[in-house]
Structure 1
């Protein structure tokens, strides 16, 4: 088992290194020279059956390859795959519900102690070990859920960022709209972007939350320009983005102040308020 874990760590480290190196055009060209089927392999790695860490790394490498070697990538096919993953990727770990239940359980235990009632039994010697074990288990579970949620955010950001690069190659208008799965008369994809924006307005605000919301806004411009969703759906998305702009204003200011430190340069621009105004112009 330890060997298996080490192999996974080695693969993950190698992938992360490649995702950094492939930001260079020369390295991206070299990757294609040495492995002409790399895009097919990485596209397959986006499937939910794979470790989420590997999926994140694959999306980041694909973004770099599409940026530097776009003529060697079947972009329409890749775009369909990535958008399909966005439609199905969850925003929260399922275990979060059980965390809420555990919070209620801890509150009940606290209330019981206040009234001299133990929910763990009458034998004090038996209570302490059991209670300590339960607390340790709960803490480990909460930590695991937090890690899972963090990875899911990174996954969503990576998919959205890759989507923006791919849509940019189609000039973000009519040519890209027909490739968006579920983007028929009901505007399912735009509704999905709205759900993502709404979700991150309700969660704890972090720089990656701002990044995800901004990516949704930029992608929504392409969807809305394609005229394949109703005006009401456009209005609802703009309303969600307006709420996000107001909710995240203070944190966005902090990110702008940070500038290029801590990898914040990609998050600072465009401003949410600017995105909001651009999208309002697309609503009839």
Structure 2
């Protein structure tokens, strides 16, 4: 099935054509809904990336790391700025592949570079991030083609959680990547109308036994809610997953766990394993 899909899903190096194109945010939409209004910056120490962070670094609180791969493997670090700014406003250091407004393609090595940079900055005495990053809590995420990049680095032992958005393996020859998963994984998919839906569901059935896993489908298609202010419903739910997995937040945990979980009584179609 997936081999047959490969030919129509790969176009000029772009996986899942028609991938969500995070439209520029309307004026005033950025900053996020969290307690730490956020923005983005770049640094010569990590070229070809965009760093989203609270505008004022919180005192006494360390920022977990979130590495992000864009849909279409596109090297534009502000393509998904709404949702990435939202997560940063809740106290995360979010690092996206690509420079602001950049062009060209990314690869999975760039996700590893993001983690390496954050770990190094936390130890560099002259860095504004010195001692302010929680290097023991790392999420790697990606949308569509960025989800494939996420799979490719998911065996990194530093990773605390792996998250795929509107994504799944394209070819059964790639199934070995699933056996390298070691950290709790979440899938946030756009329902049956999402071109990645059958691929994600096939991956779900092949996950390693015992791996904690969550599958959430919201009927919004492959474009998701990324272009909505603060990333819309995807931004809200993704924030809860990050707060649970990287900060141990019990209120956020309740969105995913239990017979009366927050998403269970919503428009989300929920599947769970080993949670």
Do these two structures clear the TM 0.5 threshold for a shared fold by scoring above it? no
- Tell me which protein shows more strand as a share of its residues: 2
Q: Who wins on radius of gyration, i.e. which is larger?
A: 1
TM-score by length of 1: 0.29
- Tell me which protein shows more helix as a share of its residues: 1
